[in-house]
C-alpha cells in the first residue's frame, strides 16, 4: 500500500485517551468495543470541552446584537466555519451550516423545487433557471445510496415531472459503470452519489462520475458523510458542485452538518427556508435576501454544535487525514478477514486496495451476513461480548435488496479503533453460528 504511514502505537494510545467514552465498560463490566462509528462517532474531550466552554463563556445568538457576548459567539461560529472549510478544501463562504447531511441534501433539492415553482410563476432570477427541472429532465443517483441521498431526489422528481434514474451496483459492491454514458446523458440535470457507501465501504470513482456529469452539464452532489471522517477530502480538487457531511460522524456533535456549494451556485440558488437572519430588507410586501452562506441559514443557529464541529475538524486535521486513512485501511484489512469464518459473507469489496488518487479504495465499514442467523441475533451475541455493531438495512434498503438480503450486520471503525478490537470482534463472530447451533 503506497498510502502514508499509519498511526504509531503511541499515537493511537494518545488518540484513545482523548475519548472518555471509550474507557467505559458495558454488559457486566466488559470493555466496550465500539464498532458503530459509521452510525455516529465518539467525541474527543476537546469537542466536549468546546461545547461546554461555549455555553459557560460565550453563549449568545450570532450575527445580531451589539454586545460583547454576541460578538464573541459570532467570532467562534465563523471561526468554526473557516476550520470546517479548510478541512475539506473549500472557501469559507462556500460552507453553509445545516443540522446534518440529510438537511443539507434537502436544502439543495428544496432550492431546486423552489426554482422550478418560481420559473412556472414567472419569478426568480435568471441565474436560478439552472436549477429548474421538468418533464424530460433526469436526476441520476446510484443503487448504493443512503435513503438521505435517494428519497429527496425521488420526491423532487415526482414533484417536477423529472425522471429518476440510477447507476447499478456490481456483485463486488462497487458501482457498475458499464452504462454510465447512457444513464448520464444530455437530459441529466443532477448526478447525486455517495463518496463512500455506508454499507459496503466502497469509495466511488469520483473523478469518472464528475467527468461524466461535466460532459453533459449536470450538477454533481456528493454525499461525503462517510468520506470526510476517514479520508483526506479536498472538495475543490474533486470538482463537485455540492457536497454534504455531518458533524456527528466526524467526531463532532449531533445537530450540525454542512452543505458545500460552489460559490457561484450558492449565489444563484434561492433559499429553501426563509425567516430571520437571512434577510437584508423586509417590507410588508417583499424581502431581499442576504448573500450566501447566510441566505441559507434562517433562524437561530446551532452555535455550540458548530463550534464543536470546527474543533473536531481541527483535531482531525492536526492528526493528519493521511495517517487516519492509513490506520483505518489496516483496520479494514483486519475486518475483512471475517470472510474466512465459515458461513460469513461480506457484502462489498473483499480487499482494501489503493485507488487512482493513492488513497484506500474502501474504508473500514464492513457489512456482512451469517448463514442461518438473523442480523439482529448476530448483533445480540456480539453485544453480549461488549461489541457494538449496527444491524438492519442501514438506511439503504435498495442496496440490501440488490444483494438479496433484508438486513446485514455492520462493523465500522474510526480513528480510535484498534486492531486488537477487530481481533476481539472476529473471535466473537466465530462463535455465533455455534451459539445458534447452525454449524
Ligand atoms: N449519507 C450517508 C452515506 C450516511 O451514512 C448518512 C448517515 O448514516 C447520511 C447520509 C445521513 O446523515 P445524517 O443522519 O447525519 O443527516
pTM of the model: 0.97
| Predicted local distance difference test score (pLDDT) of residue 64 | 80
Q: Answer whether residue 114 shows pLDDT above 70.
A: yes
More confident residue, 322 or 437: 322
The rounded percent of the chain whose pLDDT value lies above 70 is 99
Neighbours of 63 (CB within 10 A): 18
Phi-psi region of 411 (alpha: psi -120 to 50; beta: other; left: phi over 0): beta
Known active-site residue 225: no
Ligand 1 within 6 A of 102 CB? yes
Across residues 103-126, what is the average pLDDT?
97
Ligand 1 within 6 A of 414 CB? no
Ligand 1 mutation target, pool 97, 99, 100, 102, most atoms within 8 A of CB: 102
Ligand 1 within 6 A of 146 CB? yes
How far is ligand 1, taken at its centre, from the CA of residue 390, in Å? 14
Catalytic pick among 4, 395, 405, 419: 395
Instruction: Report the C-alpha gap between 59 and 72 in whole angstroms.
Output: 9
Residue ranges and CATH numbers for the domains of the chain are: 9-43+321-435 (3.90.1150.10), 51-316 (3.40.640.10)
- Cis-peptide into 293, omega within 30 deg: yes
Which ligand 1 atom sits closest to the C-alpha of 197?
3
Instruction: Report the C-alpha gap between 58 and 72 in whole angstroms.
Output: 6
Closest to 419 in 3D by CA, of 319, 332, 350, 326: 332
| Predicted local distance difference test score (pLDDT) of residue 4 | 60
Instruction: Report the C-alpha gap between 246 and 258 in whole angstroms.
Output: 6
Amino acid at each position: 500500500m503506497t498510502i502514508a504511514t499509519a498511526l504509531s502505537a503511541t499515537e493511537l494510545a494518545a488518540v484513545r485517551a482523548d475519548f472518555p467514552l471509550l474507557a467505559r465498560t458495558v454488559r457486566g463490566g466488559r470493555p466496550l468495543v465500539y464498532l458503530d462509528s459509521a452510525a455516529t462517532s465518539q467525541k474527543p474531550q476537546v469537542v466536549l470541552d468546546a461545547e461546554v466552554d461555549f455555553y459557560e463563556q460565550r453563549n449568545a445568538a450570532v450575527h445580531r446584537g451589539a454586545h460583547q457576548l454576541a460578538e464573541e459567539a459570532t467570532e467562534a461560529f465563523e471561526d468554526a466555519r473557516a476550520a470546517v472549510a479548510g478541512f475539506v478544501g473549500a472557501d469559507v463562504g462556500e460552507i453553509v451550516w445545516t443540522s446534518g447531511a440529510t438537511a443539507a441534501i434537502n436544502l439543495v433539492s428544496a432550492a431546486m423545487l423552489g426554482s422550478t415553482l418560481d420559473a412556472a410563476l414567472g419569478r426568480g432570477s435568471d441565474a436560478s433557471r439552472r436549477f429548474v427541472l421538468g418533464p424530460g429532465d433526469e436526476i441520476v443517483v446510484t443503487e448504493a445510496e443512503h435513503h438521505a441521498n435517494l428519497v429527496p431526489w425521488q420526491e423532487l422528481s415526482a414533484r417536477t415531472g423529472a425522471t429518476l434514474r440510477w447507476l447499478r451496483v456490481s456483485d463486488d459492491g462497487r458501482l457498475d459503470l458499464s452504462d454510465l454514458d447512457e444513464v448520464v446523458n444530455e437530459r441529466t440535470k443532477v448526478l447525486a452519489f455517495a463518496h463512500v457507501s455506508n454499507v459496503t465501504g466502497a469509495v466511488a470513482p469520483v473523478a469518472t462520475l464528475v467527468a461524466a456529469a461535466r460532459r453533459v452539464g449536470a450538477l454533481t452532489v456528493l454525499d461525503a458523510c462517510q468520506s470526510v471522517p476517514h479520508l483526506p477530502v479536498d472538495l475543490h480538487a474533486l470538482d463537485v458542485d455540492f457536497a454534504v457531511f455531518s458533524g456527528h460522524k466526524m467526531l463532532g456533535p449531533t445537530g450540525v452538518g454542512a452543505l458545500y456549494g460552489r460559490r457561484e451556485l450558492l449565489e444563484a440558488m434561492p433559499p429553501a427556508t426563509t425567516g430571520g437572519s437571512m434577510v437584508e430588507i423586509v417590507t410588508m410586501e417583499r424581502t431581499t435576501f442576504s448573500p450566501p452562506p447566510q441566505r441559507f441559514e434562517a433562524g437561530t443557529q446551532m452555535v455550540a454544535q458548530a463550534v464543536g464541529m470546527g474543533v473536531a475538524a481541527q483535531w482531525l486535521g492536526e492528526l493528519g487525514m493521511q495517517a487516519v486513512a492509513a490506520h483505518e485501511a489496516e483496520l479494514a484489512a483486519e475486518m475483512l478477514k471475517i470472510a474466512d469464518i465459515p458461513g460469513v459473507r461480506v457484502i462489498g469489496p473483499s480487499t482494501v486496495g489503493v485507488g487512482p488518487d493513492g488513497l484506500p479504495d474502501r474504508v473500514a465499514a464492513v457489512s456482512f451476513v451469517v448463514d442461518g442467523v438473523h442480523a439482529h441475533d448476530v448483533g445480540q451475541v456480539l453485544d453480549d461480548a461488549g461489541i457494538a455493531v449496527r444491524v438492519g438495512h442501514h438506511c439503504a434498503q435498495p442496496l440490501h435488496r440488490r444483494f438479496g438480503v433484508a438486513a446485514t450486520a455492520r462493523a465500522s471503525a474510526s480513528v480510535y479503533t484498534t486492531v486488537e478490537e477487530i481481533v476481539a470482534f472476529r473471535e466473537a463472530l466465530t462463535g455465533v453460528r455455534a451459539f445458534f447451533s447452525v454449524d
